[in-house]
């Protein structure tokens, strides 16, 4: 006969067994519950410099799905450099197979790279990604790594954020927006897309001061545009409170990129003053974002050069402007592409004229009420900064 104490023990064991081994009817891949880009909560997906890309498209905000393998112990700068070189060498070994079988337009993979923690990185477009696909790709990477003498290769899988137009034939003016259907593309066009995906994407050069907030998972082009419009509204509502910092020459630029707000801090300021300004400005932006139902608003603070010397309006200004705009070089070219897209207005995002205007703001990186880091935006900012400084 079973005693009451035995019955209680069995009940508890069954209860904890359900907790430890839950049944699941959903095989879809869910986001990792860890911090976005690292096992440390200090790392934010707002800081794009955390990633280095070997081939594919440039992502503007990553969300981790899962991680496999084991990180090596890297204690010195030399060890880190050699490991980075090894990961890039590994990417070259698997590139042809990944591009032809798993990568856009033939599959779900968009980018191959590495992160600062030491993980090899595979980024997908949001959609048909499941555990079976991830396991298959990891096996490919792991097998190639073993041939190089690497066991338990550490790989991070995630979703990237993309809004990009790909040139298929510049002479004939044929372009393909990422996200559009590829059904009507010729074999030649598909081949061109594959070759583009083999290339190393251009990475902006920035001097990051601080990164706050989090870029949410944006599942399609419409969500990206809607998010960018929210950021534009926040930037517009806070502009008057940021202007005093610009008049003092403490802030060089303020505006919106595709997925985050950007504040350019005068690089000549003392570190303590920079820290104070960063905290004050993020508090301003954060409070306004909460009013507009946006939590954890993503803001990147980077360094720029303030110029208020009339004599530098010749070649010197051009050189300084070029340096200032380096962090947003990609957005200057994307602006032109979006202008072309607005004229065509035929991509599969089904954007109306309002959305087209927003996407134009998207790729130019800043809304038209705030100065930007693109070449034209930099000129306007430099001139405006000089005028404000000399009033």
Q: Are residues 192 and 76 in the same domain?
A: yes
Q: Tell me how many domains the chain contains.
A: 2
Tokens of 110: 């968009």
Q: Are residues 145 and 51 in the same domain?
A: yes
Give the range of the structural domain holding residue 162, as residue numbers without chain letter.
27-203
Q: What is the pLDDT of residues 196-229, one digit of tens each?
A: 999 999 988 889 999 999 999 999 999 999 999 9
Q: What is the pLDDT of residues 140-166, one digit of tens each?
A: 999 999 999 999 999 999 999 999 999
Asked, for residue 11, whether it belongs to a domain, the answer is no
Q: Are residues 154 and 284 in the same domain?
A: no
Q: Are residues 351 and 216 in the same domain?
A: yes
- Tokens 């207005």, located at residue: 345
* Of the residues 184, 203, 222, the one at which a domain ends: 203
Tokens of 188: 């030649």
Measured distance CA(224)–CA(386) in Å, rounded:
34
Q: Are residues 342 and 318 in the same domain?
A: yes
End-to-end CA gap in the chain: 94
The dihedral of CA 38, 39, 44, 50: what is its sign?
negative
* Of the residues 203, 235, 251, the one at which a domain ends: 203
Q: What is the pLDDT of residues 79-97, one digit of tens each?
A: 999 999 999 999 999 999 9
* Of the residues 152, 169, 203, the one at which a domain ends: 203
Measured distance CA(281)–CA(263) in Å, rounded:
9
Q: Single out the residue of 139, 110, 138, 136 nearest to residue 51, CA to CA.
A: 110
Q: Are residues 252 and 379 in the same domain?
A: yes
Contact of 322 with 282, CB cutoff 8 Å: no
Q: Are residues 231 and 159 in the same domain?
A: no
Asked, for residue 365, whether it belongs to a domain, the answer is yes
Q: What is the pLDDT of residues 165-201, one digit of tens each?
A: 999 988 888 899 987 888 888 999 999 999 999 999 9
């Amino acid at each position: 006969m079973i005693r009451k104490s035995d019955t209680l023990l069995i009940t508890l064991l069954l209860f904890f067994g359900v907790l430890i081994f839950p049944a699941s009817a959903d095989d879809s891949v869910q986001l990792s519950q860890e911090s976005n880009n690292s096992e440390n909560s200090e790392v934010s997906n707002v800081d794009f410099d955390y990633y280095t890309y070997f081939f594919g498209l440039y992502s503007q905000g990553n969300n981790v799905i899962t991680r496999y393998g084991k990180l090596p112990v890297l204690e010195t700068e030399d060890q880190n450099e050699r490991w980075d070189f090894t990961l890039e060498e590994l990417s070259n070994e698997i590139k042809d197979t990944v591009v032809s079988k798993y990568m856009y337009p033939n599959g779900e993979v968009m980018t191959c790279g590495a992160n600062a923690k030491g993980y090899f990185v595979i980024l997908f477009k949001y959609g048909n990604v499941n555990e079976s696909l991830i396991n298959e790709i990891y096996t490919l990477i792991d097998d190639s790594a073993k041939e190089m003498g690497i066991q338990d290769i550490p790989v991070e899988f995630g979703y990237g954020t993309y809004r990009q137009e790909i040139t298929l034939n510049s002479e004939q003016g044929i372009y393909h927006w990422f996200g559009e259907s590829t059904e009507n593309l010729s074999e030649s066009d598909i081949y061109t897309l594959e070759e583009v995906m083999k290339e190393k994407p251009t990475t902006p050069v920035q001097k990051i001061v601080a990164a706050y907030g989090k870029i949410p998972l944006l599942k399609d082009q419409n969500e990206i545009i809607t998010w960018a419009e929210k950021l534009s509204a926040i930037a517009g509502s806070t502009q008057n409170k940021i202007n005093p910092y610009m008049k003092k020459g403490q802030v060089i630029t303020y505006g919106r990129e595709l997925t985050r707000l950007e504040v350019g801090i005068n690089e000549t300021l003392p570190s303590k003053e920079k820290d104070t300004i960063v905290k004050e400005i993020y508090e301003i932006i954060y409070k306004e974002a909460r009013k507009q139902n946006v939590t954890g608003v993503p803001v990147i603070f980077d360094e720029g050069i303030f110029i208020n010397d009339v004599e530098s309006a010749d070649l010197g200004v051009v050189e300084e402007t070029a340096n200032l705009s380096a962090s947003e070089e990609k957005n200057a070219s994307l602006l032109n592409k979006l202008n072309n897209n607005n004229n065509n207005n035929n991509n599969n995002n089904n954007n109306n004229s309002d959305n087209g205007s927003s996407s134009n703001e998207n790729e130019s990186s800043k809304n038209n009420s705030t100065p930007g880091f693109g070449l034209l935006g930099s000129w306007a900012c430099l001139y405006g900064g000089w005028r404000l400084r000399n009033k």
